[in-house]
Structure 1
Amino acid sequence: MKIKSQRDFWSGLMFVAVGLAFAWGATNYSFGSSANPGPGYFPFGLGILLALLGAMVLFKALTIESDGGAPIGKIAWRPLLVITLAITSFGLALPRLGLLVTMPLLISLSAAAGQEFRWKDALLNGVVLTAGSWVIFVWGLKLTIPVWPVYFGG
């Protein structure tokens, strides 16, 4: 069988592998039932769903012709490294700086990974996503996430 889209083939294969790995890892936890799901229920379902999505992408890569075989391009190192740095910084800074400082920091750093970075857009996204995160996680779900920096009594 001929691969008709390299990008779709390898991304589909990656989705299948990651999905099956998550589903397999979730079997180490209690599954529970539909009425009372355990800690393994949700990751198992998501893993299977991701594997099915990957299988659909793989099927497309093997059956539908694309222009030039959709070759895999160069690895975009800058976005990969900048976004990894932003997420690591968020995890390290959240307990000390609180949600109100670290969310805009994460969003600004992540936006800087792209070619079309604009401070106005990054700050507007930072404000909206920080407010949304506070509403969902702190107010709605009552999670104990530090909101203010420790220096302000947070």
Structure 2
Amino acid sequence: MAETTSHLPGGSVTAPSSRSATGAIVILLLAFAPQLVELLTSLVGLIVPLSGRHPLQVLSGHGPALIVALPSLFQQYAAGGKTALSSDILLALIYTYPLIAVALFTLLVRPRAPQDYYGGVVLMAIALFALWASSDLQGMHGFSFGAGTAPRMFGVLLLALGAAVAVIGIITDGAQLATYHWRGPLFVSLAILAFALSIRPLGLVVSGLASFLIAALGTHETRWGETLIVGICLTVGCALLFPYVLGLPMPLFPRFLVP
């Protein structure tokens, strides 16, 4: 018979229900991550000028949206889809509510392959976020693809794949959760966030190079001389590719340097 508890180095025993509760809490934090990140960003904006909403605007936007999201959806359905839902309400409906349901479901089940289950949940979270991020893009009109068609297709496929992996983690035996190293994902995520926040005020040259160097902090094997050379080459390549070759209206230099 398979053991139903795991023994920790100190001799303590962690019950499966305790592990499920911890996993549910982590998923619940993931469900509110976009709102929390925007709130933290708005607080940073009080010190460093950033484009975005004031902290009070963030709270007054996301707080009521989490409460009135479902009634607003019913109202839209009753009106025949003629009323538009705000981005905050769509975030709650498309991303937050489904992950809250997954967190509650996690409390009720005991994954036989926790690594597969929680990996599938993360894939589902990425897919749901992509579906929300592309919700304001134009969809298909007849046989004509819109800007949001491909992101939504990939989002739906990733959502189905993540759900399948999570189900496999419930019904089949598999690997337990392994030791997770946060340094790499942390600095890569910070690099993406830094680029998104600094591209408009600082331009592609500064934000691109800074983001590359932040991502390089994700490993202790980084050689800074070589990294700086590669970062400069990539930044120059992007500065030529996006504005000139692809014709995208991206600022190259900080606003205070542009006359």
TM-score of the two chains, using structure 1 as the length reference: 0.70
Spell out, residue by residue over 1:27-55, the C-alpha distance to the aligned partner (whole angstroms, 9 max, x if none).
67642247422343122112112123324
Of 110-119 and 18-27, deviating more is 18-27
Q: What is the CA distance between 1:137 and its match in structure 2?
A: 1.6
CA distance in 2, matches of 1:85, 1:139: 28
- Which among 111, 117, 130 is matched to residue 9 of structure 1? 117
Larger radius of gyration: 2
Tell me: CA distance 1:124–1:60, structure 2 relative to 1, closer, same or farther (3 Å). Answer: farther
CA distance in 2, matches of 1:89, 1:27: 23
Of 12-21 and 108-117, deviating more is 12-21
Are 1:52 and 2:160 counterparts? Answer: yes
Spell out, residue by residue over 1:101-123, the C-alpha distance to the aligned partner (whole angstroms, 9 max, x if none).
22111111111122222213321
Equivalent position of 1:111 in the other structure = 216
CA distance in 2, matches of 1:107, 1:14: 24
- 1:25-104 equivalences under 5 Å are 30-33=138-141, 35-58=143-166, 61=169, 66=174, 69-74=175-180, 76=182, 78-104=183-209
Any gaps of 5 or more consecutive residues in structure 2? Answer: 1-108
Of 42-51 and 127-136, deviating more is 127-136
Report the aligned-residue RMSD: 3.4
Q: Provide the aligned length of Structure 1 versus Structure 2.
A: 151
TM-score of the two chains, using structure 2 as the length reference: 0.46
CA distance in 1, matches of 2:205, 2:249: 14
Contact 1:6 1:72 in 2 (8 A): no
Contact 1:98 1:145 in 2 (8 A): yes
Contact 1:111 1:117 in 2 (8 A): yes
CA distance in 2, matches of 1:90, 1:24: 20
CA distance in 2, matches of 1:24, 1:148: 30
Q: What is the CA distance between 1:14 and its match in structure 2?
A: 2.4
Which AA in structure 2 matches 1:144? P
CA distance in 1, matches of 2:115, 2:122: 11
Tell me: CA distance 1:36–1:145, structure 2 relative to 1, closer, same or farther (3 Å). Answer: same
Which AA in structure 2 matches 1:149? P
Are 1:138 and 2:243 counterparts? Answer: yes
SS in 2 for 1:143: coil
CA distance in 1, matches of 2:131, 2:258: 41
Any gaps of 5 or more consecutive residues in structure 1? Answer: none
Of 88-97 and 41-50, deviating more is 88-97
